[in-house]
């Protein structure tokens, strides 16, 4: 069965909990209570072996590393990279400027021939497609 790496915003975001029930494929959730070297190595391994690498960015994002990861994967593995950003996450929203910037990131990802989705439902539909 196919498997997707669930990368992207952590920081208390519940997007994974919303997406997982919609999935008909296996997944790897990299969110853990304690970050260790072993956990970091397993995350790198899963990015390599999963059939898809999904990056969902929400306004709860604090760092920029997930943006770097999606652009890197869209260059190296475009056939398995999926990008989605959600303008709202509970009561938190991106500013207009941030949305413009994320749309530009989506453009880069698309130019690299990776997939861009605009909602978690669209992500699930893409991942659940039967070959």
Q: How many domains does the chain have?
A: 1
In terms of Cα–Cα distance, which of 8, 6, 5 is closest to 105? 8
The CATH number assigned to the domain holding 18 equals: 3.40.50
Q: How far is CA 129 from CA 25, 61, 77, 84, 106, in A?
A: 10, 29, 19, 17, 22
Q: What is the pLDDT of residue 131?
A: 61
Residue 75 has pLDDT above 90, yes or no: yes
Distance of alpha carbon 80 from alpha carbon 2, whole angstroms: 11
> Which residue segment(s) compose the domain that 79 sits in?
3-128
> What average pLDDT does range 52-63 have in this prediction?
96
Per-residue pLDDT tens digits for 29-51: 998 888 889 988 999 999 999 99
Q: Are 51 and 8 in contact (CB under 8 A)?
A: no
């Amino acid at each position: 069965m196919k498997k997707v790496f669930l990368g992207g915003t952590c920081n208390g975001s519940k997007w994974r909990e919303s997406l997982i029930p919609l999935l008909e494929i296996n997944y790897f959730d990299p969110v853990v209570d304690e970050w260790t070297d072993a956990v970091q190595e397993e995350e790198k391994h899963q990015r390599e072996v999963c059939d898809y690498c999904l990056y969902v960015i929400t306004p709860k994002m604090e760092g920029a590393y997930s943006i770097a990861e999606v652009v890197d994967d869209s260059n190296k593995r475009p056939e398995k990279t999926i990008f989605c950003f959600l303008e709202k996450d509970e009561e938190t929203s991106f500013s207009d400027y941030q949305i413009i910037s994320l749309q530009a990131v989506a453009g880069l990802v698309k130019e690299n021939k990776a997939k861009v989705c605009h909602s978690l439902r669209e992500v699930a539909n893409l991942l659940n497609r039967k070959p």
